[in-house]
Amino acid sequence: MAAAEKIEKTAGIRERSISPVQAQERPQPHDPGAERAVLASMLLEPRPCVDTFIEKLGSEKVFYSPAFRAIGRAILELQKEDKGIDIITVADRLSREGRLEHIGGEMFLLDIQNSIATTANMEEWCRIVRGYSILREMIGTCAQSLEKCYSPDKDVEEIVGEIESDIYNIRHGHTQPEIIEFSKYIEETFRQVEKIIMNQVEIGIPTGYCDLDRLIIGLKPGEMIVLAARPSIGKTSLALNIVRNIALKASKSRSVAFFSLEMTAEQLTRRLLCTEAGVSESRFYDGSFNKKGELMRLTKAAGTLRNANIFIDPTSGITIAELSAKARRLKMKHNIDIVVIDYLQLMKAGSNIDSRQQEVAEISSGIKKLAKDLNIPVLVLAQLNREVEKTSGKASKPRLSHLRESGAIEQDADIVVFLHRDRDETKDVSPEVLEKGVDAELIVEKNRNGATGIVGLKFIPQIMEFRSNSRYSDEDNPAKNDNNSMNRSGQ
């Protein structure tokens, strides 16, 4: 302990700030025996043990003792420089840095090396050291959380979001993926392929639009899917249609989190209710509402929607940190299957950033990180710039360059879909014609793991519903299923 205190006072290598918990002079969780054994293993058998240390622990910061941290840093530096590692080289490195005497000299290094007889338990010692390191990190995070709670400059929701994010990062940031033999990957992959062929598992969550699902293979876990359009084209309506399909119409009911930055929860619920009932919302106000027939349809729709696992957050101007914190809570509490955000350009980064493009880049990367962390698809709506309206004909169709602040969004997104239709087509048209639907297109412009293409839809403005041009999916067509089976067997 004297060596540790001496090196902290004289060598100036303290790496942790004093927290309220430390101020009580209560030692933080640690196991000096396990830390010593890890260092001894690296000195005895550097070739395998240093690699194990890097894989399991990462850096010397996992050591509680400042003296051990100094030794660990010297070993890792020698490894990085591809130099030999033993007591002599480590002592020389520490001596050059003026730290050797502070830790107790070469005799202290020799004492460490002689503290174990074998390196057989290196991985177990690393596990012990890692566990105590996580506990200390949690103590530091809790101490910082106390300080944040006293900060007058931040909003309460922002503080809570940051604290939840910090704790989540501790929980999941230390998980090291294991290296698995290729043969095991082959076995697991083949079993997964078998389940897909036998329709026992879905690759992605079906959107309910069979032509789109055939193209993008559903909304897949860990992916960021961007649905973009100009204002008043119907991107919110399409997103709500997809939410309704996922929560109610699919063979397997799923939970959906819908973050609306533009509409209130009441507006969203009313629109879902009207779409499900097939009743125009305008009829509530113009005196044309059929109290007998349409009220019964609304009652039935309300009963259906009551069973939907849809969670709506109508917070306007939400930051990416707040949204991520809320999504993580919903994932832990309700095991949500998908997050929908309406829409990206209304979000805030939560920090002072001069450039709007930089702010959007931070938001976009945060959304992609959320999808990967929770391993669920995130469908985010986005606005297109006005350039798409300055052209006519085929050239008027949206392109990736039409995304507002497009660079980062285009880079982070796994799938980019544009909703395109002629807004003027619904003007001065009789209700009878509109009931049959107007043409709309889903343009899959980017698909990182699949094909691109165009999907035709019909839009019924009165009930804000998009319908697939294909009335039936492949699963509904026995003849096609039989042909597919024959094709597979023939191949």
* Domain 204-490: homologous superfamily in CATH: P-loop containing nucleotide triphosphate hydrolases (3.40.50.300)
CA distance 105 to 267: 72
- Give the Å distances, CA to CA, from 373 to 159, 259, 324, 339, 367: 20, 18, 10, 12, 10
For the full predicted model, state whether its pTM sits above 0.85.
no
Neighbour tally for 478: CB within 10 Å: 8
- Give the Å distances, CA to CA, from 245 to 248, 427, 477: 5, 28, 20
- Give the Å distances, CA to CA, from 190 to 218, 422, 450: 20, 46, 20
468: β partners: 457
Two tokens, residue 451:
């094909």
Domain ranges of the chain: 2-150, 204-490
260: β partners: 342
The third-level CATH classification (topology) of the domain covering 2-150 is DNAb Helicase; Chain A (1.10.860)
What would you report as the CA-atom Rg of the chain, rounded to the nearest whole angstrom? Answer: 30
CA distance 330 to 172: 17
Q: What is the pLDDT of residue 8?
A: 43
Q: Does residue 72 contact residue 39 with C-beta atoms inside 8 Å?
A: yes
Question: Whose CA is closest to 112, among 33, 57, 59, 191?
Answer: 33
Sheet holding 224-229, edge to edge: 310-313, 256-260, 338-342, 378-383, 224-229, 415-420, 438-447, 453-460, 465-468
CA distance 276 to 302: 8
Neighbour tally for 311: CB within 10 Å: 17
Please give the full DSSP string across 4-72, using - where no structure is assigned: HHHHHHHT----SPPPHHHHTTPPPS--HHHHHHHHHHHHHSHHHHHHHHHHHT-SGGG-SSHHHHHHH
Question: Whose CA is closest to 68, among 45, 97, 37?
Answer: 37
Q: What is the pLDDT of residue 486?
A: 33
| Sign of torsion over alpha carbons 366, 367, 368, 374 | positive
Question: Whose CA is closest to 86, among 43, 141, 40?
Answer: 43
Pairing of strands 224-229, 415-420: parallel
Question: Whose CA is closest to 408, among 350, 352, 344?
Answer: 344
List the end-to-end C-alpha distance of the chain, in Å, as a whole number: 71
Q: Does residue 270 contact residue 298 with C-beta atoms inside 8 Å?
A: no
CA distance 325 to 331: 10
Question: Whose CA is closest to 420, among 448, 380, 393?
Answer: 393
pLDDT by position in tens, the chain (length 491): 444 444 444 444 344 444 444 445 678 889 999 999 999 999 998 888 888 888 788 788 889 888 998 999 999 888 888 788 888 999 998 998 888 888 888 899 899 999 998 999 998 999 899 888 888 888 888 888 888 888 767 667 677 777 777 777 776 555 555 656 777 768 777 887 787 777 776 778 888 888 888 888 888 899 999 998 888 888 888 999 998 888 887 667 788 999 988 888 888 888 888 888 888 777 766 666 666 677 888 888 888 888 888 898 888 878 887 788 788 888 888 889 999 998 888 888 766 677 777 888 888 888 898 898 888 999 999 888 776 666 655 457 777 777 766 677 888 889 999 888 876 666 666 666 666 777 888 889 888 888 889 888 888 888 888 888 765 444 444 444 444 433 333 33
CA distance 215 to 474: 13
CA distance 316 to 323: 11
Amino acid letter, residue 109: L
